[in-house]
Structure 1
Amino acid sequence: MEIEIRTARADDVGAIAELMYSSGPDMYSYLYKSKALDYLRYEFASGIGFAGHPNVTVALCDGEVVGTGCFYDRDNYERLLKGSIKNMVGFFGYFGVVPVMLRSRHIKSVMRAPKPGELYLSNFGVSDKLRSQGIGTKIIQHKLQEAREKGYNLFGLDVSVANPRGQALYTRLGLQVMKEKHFSNPKAGVNSARKMELALMP
């Protein structure tokens, strides 16, 4: 099985929104309710924001996207955040976006801006049909090599406590759990997350 890893394009095909949604279905459902998948498709196509296609790394098999990951650093965080806010307003409208923004205030309790020198991963998903075939490992190793070449000193992510399979993968790749964080709205049904990190420089 030949896997191609590259930056996503607007015309890529596959269950891209579903793959990103699988990284945190409880969080996405809390934020965007029944519109979560439609919003992710909208943001991907927009080309801006955290899930805009230029910020998405994809793995392709036979021309179809079978894996996704959004990688960004502190320098890009504010630009991506502004893009996602613009997308939320465009998708939900000026009145519809208000409850979404109110709910989004709680995100920082489990996900924060990357540290200086850190490359951060979010929206990481691999097709159910192709799991346990090394696709997730290939995506992360590809980006780790790039990160070292570009001088990053840290690689990090947040993994849900409800995703032991993901945590096992990250552990095999050398990441360590640094702390566990609890969602600040206990009624939201969003799982706690564990911050995992890997030092890239000696």
Structure 2
Amino acid sequence: MPLTFRRARPDDVDAAIPLIYSSGPDAFDYAFARPGRNSAQDFLRYAFVQGGGQFGWRQHWVGEQDGQVVAAGTVFGGEANLGYLLAATRQILGYFGLGSAGVIRRGLQLEKIICPPPRRTLYLAHLGVTPTLRGEGLGSQLIDHFLQMGRDANLPIAALDVSVANPKAQALYERLGFSVQVERVSTLPGVSSHRYMQRQL
């Protein structure tokens, strides 16, 4: 069944955050979870409602089926890197307070595995589909929607990162024309290595 895509809204938080989190739970947990204090999804909810940066609702799209949000994701390019860094720093300081230094340090460690994208690149991130509907083509629709946005913006390249622990996702991306450019090996506890993939638009 075709999805209907629209910009996310603040009131999508309950539906969108589990989908966003599912795109990289080990990385999100490494950066933002504090056992006994907060989960990664707690911070992602806070940042989503704040609106700004790569975790905010303003940057996300959702896909609806029968009026229900069943897919979510975002796209951006290297032009947004500095603004996203500043927004994330503000959100981290606002949420974690005195614990912010450790969160920022872990985030910088993750950026050696999941690097900020280059300029003039349509970078796809936070791609998630409701678990009970996976395998029904919704992920392909979500990605196709974003690829068309890139074509409309006359961008030459689309890119994304995929965990080596998620071969089904990599197989989908390969079917859609992406190919692995480099594998970045992780030495971080609980975080899998990631593969950077690209395709022409």
Match runs of 1:34-49 below 5 Å = 34-49=38-53
For residues 49-92 of structure 1, what are the alpha-carbon distances to aligned partners after superposition, in whole Å with 9 as ceiling and x for unaligned? 11101111111122222111121011122112211111111111
Asked if the contact 1:10/1:45 (under 8 Å) is kept, the reply is yes
Using a 3 Å threshold, how does the CA distance of structure 1 residues 30 and 13 change in structure 2: closer, same or farther? Answer: closer
Number of the residue aligned with 2:74: 70
The answer (yes or no) to whether the contact 2:120–2:156 under 8 Å persists in 1 is yes
Identify the residue that residue 141 of structure 1 maps to in structure 2.
144
AA of the residue aligned to 1:189: G
SS in 2 for 1:69: strand
| Correspondence list, 1:144-163, <5 A | 144-163=147-166
Query: SS of the residue aligned with 2:11?
Result: coil
Mapping for residues 84-163 of structure 1, pairs under 5 Å = 84-93=88-97, 95-163=98-166
SS state at 1:190 partner: coil
How far apart are the structure 2 equivalents of 1:158 and 1:2? Answer: 25
Cα deviation for residue 14 of structure 1 reads: 4.4
Partners of 2:162 and 2:13 in 1: how far apart?
A: 26
What is the correspondence of 1:21-60 to structure 2 with a 5 Å cutoff? 21-33=21-33, 34-60=38-64
Aligned identity (percent) is 39
Question: Counterpart of 1:151 in 2: which secondary structure?
Answer: coil
Q: Distance in 2 between matches of 1:187 and 1:170?
A: 25
Aligned residue pairs: how many? 197
Does residue 12 (structure 1) correspond to residue 12 (structure 2)? The answer is yes
Counterpart amino acid of 1:104? G
Structure 1 stretch displaced more, 69-78 or 154-163: 69-78
The aligned residue for residue 190 of structure 1 is 191
Cα distance per residue 1:12-69 (max 9 Å; x no partner)? 2643111111111111111112420111111111111111011111111222221111
Letter in 2 for 1:155: A
4+ residue segments displaced more than 4 Å: none
Residue 79 of structure 1 aligns with which residue? 83
Specify whether residues 136 and 41 from structure 1 end up closer, same or farther in structure 2 by C-alpha distance, changes over 3 A only: same
CA–CA separation in structure 2 for the residues paired with 1:66 and 1:121: 17
The one-letter amino acid paired with 2:21 is Y
Q: Are the equivalent residues in 2 in contact too, given 1:159–1:193 (CA < 8 A)?
A: yes
In the alignment, is the contact (CA less than 8 A) between 1:20 and 1:69 conserved in 2?
yes
- Which residue identity is paired with 2:173? Y
Is the alpha carbon distance of 1:116 and 1:57 closer, same or farther for their aligned partners in structure 2, counting shifts above 3 Å? same
Gaps of 5+ in 1: none
Distance 1:57 1:173 in 2: 20
Q: Describe the SS at the equivalent of 1:50.
A: coil
TM-score (norm 1): 0.92
* Contact 1:109 1:182 survives alignment (8 Å): no
Structure-2 change in CA distance of 1:117 and 1:105 (3 Å): same
| Contact persistence 2:13–2:45 (CA under 8 A) | no
